[in-house]
Structure 1
Amino acid sequence: MAQRLGVAAATLRSWERRYGIGPAVRVEGKHRRWLPGDIVRLEEMSRLTALGVPPAEAARAARVAATDASRDEGHAPAAVAGRAPGGPATLPLGPVRAECRGLARAAVRLDGDAVEILLDRAIKDNGCVGAWEEIIAPTLRAAGRKWASAGDRYIEVEHLLSWLVSSALRRRHEPRRPPREGVRPIVLACAPGELHSLPLEALWAALTERGLPVKMFGPAFPVEALGEAVRRVGPSMVVVWAQDRPTAAAELVSAVEGAEWGVRGARSHTTLLVAGQGWNSVPRAGARRLTGLRSGLGLIEQRLAH
């Protein structure tokens, strides 16, 4: 239930202890069994507190709403329980997983602690790829759409969520595979002027999870610095992210593909991979474009195998 609502389990216990908003049925072993009417009350409680209603007042209103719903044949608890709490203060998610809805609700409430817990759980349970594609990315896109359609409102939601996602991705989660031996590092960087680095951070986390050596140079990386990094690191490949068309696309391609590394007489070149919709109109990079996190990892693994 905590995951579904996007609150901490301690919050649910507090609501039950202080305001009587809890499960109607308990089974052996002190387990809670949440019935449809319980879910209606909890979702209404979550919706109202997200709007700033004091918890005691929200609890009274939630009990009334659940009672009214149970009396209305057209709005039986089982039907009402499927709605997303928050009303106009929710993010436009569409059909998504319950964990995604919980994350969105916590973000709208600006409940940083709950967001952090939900993100760590999502990554632990699903791995970086599953968490990013099925839970994190849909919530980020919804926050962006809400911000775009509401002027300057909800920008605080988008910024808080982005920061906490970045923090969760960069925490050192235990690799699911042992470190790869004999593999040259993979260099990740954003194109010059590109400040949106979260998708690249997700790739960094996924590569790290797979035990692959990776060096992240972050947002707005200059062309000259990228060429120098290639010469000094000698990477197996370089991934450059661009959400908008890079102003120096040709220079970026030349800087990576023209750089050589290794001992004299046995110089090597690095493979350039590009990611992000900004590269859609750059023909020279068309055959080496990553189109998603999961498929991109597959392409990287395929190239490493050769």
Structure 2
Amino acid sequence: MGDQGRVLDAVIGSVARHEEEETLPVAAVARRLGVAPATLRTWDRRYGIGPRAHTTGRHRRYTHDDIARLELMQQALLRGATPAEAASYALRVTTPPEPPEDVGPRAGGASLLREFSTRSAIVLGLSRAAMAMDTVAIQQLIADSVDALGVVAVWDDVLRPVLAALASRWEQTGECVEVEHLVRECTLAAMIGATPTVTAPRNPRPVLLCCAPDEQHSLPLHVLRAALAREGISTQMLGAALPASALAAAVRRTGPAAVAVWAQLPEYAHAELFAEVPRTRQRVRLFACGPGWFTTDLPARVNRLEDLTGAVRRIESLVGAG
């Protein structure tokens, strides 16, 4: 148990440092929240919801209180508040009371903070199960978390921190490759299991989901598929590293309502891909999903979706009316 315990402590410590670090730079906070760094800078500049300690000429460094306010703002946005309303709410709440029904999170701010604490406990539990290579425990933890929090929240707040800690451990020491692979496979199985069969879809034509050519990071795409299915949106999963010619052929065969292309890494995010999507008699909406597209100049007809929560809402709003 000596070596295993040492590695477990290192992995859990990596996750814990992610939660306990005094301040974080804008890029790290953006990854944590699933938004672009430019979005955080815009929120700070327009609405004053940024790091309280930030001064002119110095880099932004976010404390836990700063991040908590941003998370409250995100929850308010999900309730349909405008950015200005959401920022005003988040800045107004210090020890959060129950928010007004027309603005703010589904539950009160205090409940939201308790939920964050619960998620941290789930992360540590999953880390321990992973290091023990306990497949049953890993799958049960993920399944229970999905039932409690939803697929996107579990991916963002539970699975990504654990996978990031394992990947960091592998890069530093060469250890835990097998553990990371196991967690990924369990995650894939859990997301497939959390994807209901949509027998009466809200969209008469499906949404095609694929990764950009050469992009192998397809797990977020399975999370997106599960979340859309739970909203009654039918999809067709084409998976990782789909060649542009194959995507064009799929569009001709299926006449989809939309095409969502995931890129995790910027080297695979080529805007030319969308030019190869054929025009059809009925409009096909195009979505560039994932952090790989953050710095890519996209054609006007392509919707940029910066995070999974926004992707679900945007795709549902545009194709779910059918």
TM-score > 0.5, shorter chain as reference: yes
Matched residue, 1:99: 122
Q: 1:104, CA displacement in angstroms?
A: 1.2
Contact kept? 1:123, 1:131, Cα under 8 Å: yes
Any idea what the Cα deviations from partners look like across 1:146-197, whole Å, max 9, x if unmatched? 22222x211111111111101111125547x984344321100011111110
Unaligned runs of 5+ in 1: 1-47, 54-84, 262-266
Q: Does 1:284 align with 2:298?
A: yes
Opposite residue 169 of structure 1, the aligned amino acid is: M
Opposite residue 178 of structure 2, the aligned amino acid is: E
Any idea what the Cα deviations from partners look like across 1:76-112, whole Å, max 9, x if unmatched? xxxxxxxxx9433535113252111101111112111
Q: Distance in 1 between matches of 2:2 and 2:131?
A: 11
Contact kept? 2:263, 2:269, Cα under 8 Å: no
Q: 1:276, CA displacement in angstroms?
A: 2.0
Q: Distance in 2 between matches of 1:130 and 1:289?
A: 20
Q: Distance in 1 between matches of 2:199 and 2:269?
A: 37
Contact kept? 1:189, 1:218, Cα under 8 Å: yes
Contact kept? 1:242, 1:277, Cα under 8 Å: yes
Q: Distance in 1 between matches of 2:132 and 2:292?
A: 33
Q: Distance in 2 between matches of 1:89 and 1:305?
A: 41
Q: Distance in 2 between matches of 1:153 and 1:246?
A: 27
Matched residue, 1:197: 218
Q: Does 1:304 align with 2:319?
A: yes
Opposite residue 107 of structure 1, the aligned amino acid is: A
Q: Does 1:271 align with 2:281?
A: no
TM-score (norm 1): 0.64
SS at match of 1:92: helix
Distance 1:279 1:89, change over 3 A: closer
Contact kept? 1:179, 1:210, Cα under 8 Å: no
Opposite residue 146 of structure 2, the aligned amino acid is: I
Matched residue, 2:50: none
Q: Does 1:219 align with 2:240?
A: yes
Q: Distance in 2 between matches of 1:233 and 1:269?
A: 12
- 1:139-150 map, 5 Å: 139-150=162-173
Q: Distance in 1 between matches of 2:145 and 2:2?
A: 24
Q: Distance in 1 between matches of 2:9 and 2:299?
A: 44
Q: Distance in 2 between matches of 1:180 and 1:105?
A: 39
Q: Distance in 1 between matches of 2:294 and 2:11?
A: 34
Q: Does 1:234 align with 2:261?
A: no
Opposite residue 222 of structure 1, the aligned amino acid is: P
Q: Does 1:186 align with 2:207?
A: yes
SS at match of 2:214: coil
Indicate which of 96, 100, 110 corresponds to 2:133: 110
Contact kept? 2:202, 2:232, Cα under 8 Å: no
Q: Distance in 2 between matches of 1:51 and 1:143?
A: 13
SS at match of 2:14: coil
SS at match of 1:187: strand
Q: Distance in 2 between matches of 1:139 and 1:249?
A: 29
- 1:127-138 map, 5 Å: 127-138=150-161
SS at match of 2:216: coil
Q: Distance in 1 between matches of 2:225 and 2:203?
A: 19
Opposite residue 291 of structure 1, the aligned amino acid is: E
Q: Distance in 2 between matches of 1:161 and 1:111?
A: 10
The structure 1 segments of at least 4 consecutive aligned residues displaced by more than 6 Å after TM superposition are none
Task: Determine what percentage of the aligned residue pairs are the same residue.
Answer: 33
TM-score (norm 2): 0.61
Distance 1:226 1:159, change over 3 A: same
Any idea what the Cα deviations from partners look like across 1:52-79, whole Å, max 9, x if unmatched? 79xxxxxxxxxxxxxxxxxxxxxxxxxx
Q: Distance in 1 between matches of 2:164 and 2:268?
A: 25
Q: Does 1:260 align with 2:182?
A: no
More displaced stretch, 269-278 vs 184-193: 269-278
Contact kept? 1:242, 1:276, Cα under 8 Å: yes
Opposite residue 165 of structure 1, the aligned amino acid is: T
Q: Distance in 2 between matches of 1:129 and 1:255?
A: 30
Q: Distance in 2 between matches of 1:185 and 1:143?
A: 35
Opposite residue 108 of structure 1, the aligned amino acid is: M
Contact kept? 1:50, 1:109, Cα under 8 Å: no
Q: Does 1:209 align with 2:224?
A: no
Unaligned runs of 5+ in 2: 20-118
